[in-house]
Structures are given as structure tokens and as C-alpha cells.
Amino acid sequence: MPDDGLITVASSFSVRETVERLLTFVTSHGLLVFARIDHADGAAKVGLPLRPTELLIFGHPKGGTPLMQERQTAGIDLPIKALAWEDADGKVWLSYSDAAWIAERHGLGPASAQAVKAIADGLVAAAKAATVA
């Protein structure tokens, strides 16, 4: 498990296409999209430069509620967020919180273990769909 709780994978696509592919995957699997935030667009609106950076917030009550039933503080990390971003070399990445890290952070145990595993497995599949050609 990463020390900072983030999993970051390289994308074969632009930031916009990575997010579009992620959006297609999550909606086709019945997940809800709560927000899509274009941080670079926001920065441009106030005259500040920022490489392409987009955040997608998504999830489903069936997935996240068991975590919050065990420890309501898990709600600070839910719904799931995935950030597509371009580094200084033009390489695109997709970062998201490790579900096991979220469980550890909130002291979750057996009551939500199945939901944590489902979230983790879903994130791996979603990241692959969004980033691999």
C-alpha cells in the first residue's frame, strides 16, 4: 500500500480522453457521477497557468455506505475521486485513493471488508479501462 494512499498509473491518452474513458466505464457499470471538475479551466479563468488536470467524482451508495456504517468518517473519502493530470514532460497519469488505505485511515474492519475489496477491484478495472490502449 502506498504511504500517501495514492495509486498512480500512466495513461496512454490525453487527460480529457482518460477522463472520458473513465466516465464511460463508471456509467456503464451503474455508478453515479457526482462531478467532473476541470482544474485547468478554473485556473485559466483567474489568469493562472495549470497543465491539464481533471477530477472525476463517482460512486454508488451500495459501495460506500457499508464503509460509513462502520465508521462515518470514511465519508470524507467518499465518493471516490480520480484525478487525470499531465506532468511537466507531457505524460498523462491517473491517480486515485487506494481503497485499502481508506480502510486503514478510518480503522475499518471486517464489517466493511467486502465493500472495500469491491471498491478496490472496481478501481483497478476502471483505471485499466481509462488508461490502457
Long-range contacts of 75-80 (CB under 8 A, 24+ apart): 77/102, 77/105, 77/106, 78/102, 79/32, 79/34, 80/119, 80/123
pLDDT value, residue 133: 93
pLDDT in tens, the chain (133 residues): 457 899 999 999 999 999 999 999 999 999 999 999 999 999 999 999 999 999 999 999 999 999 999 999 999 999 999 999 999 999 999 999 999 999 999 999 999 999 999 999 999 999 999 999 9
pLDDT value, residue 2: 55
What does the alpha-carbon distance between residue 19 and residue 2 come to, in Å, rounded to a whole number? 23
Structure letter (DSSP) for residue 1: -
Burial class (CB in 10 A: 0-12, 13-18, 19+), 96: buried
pLDDT value, residue 3: 75
What is the distance of C-alpha 69 from the center of its chain? 21
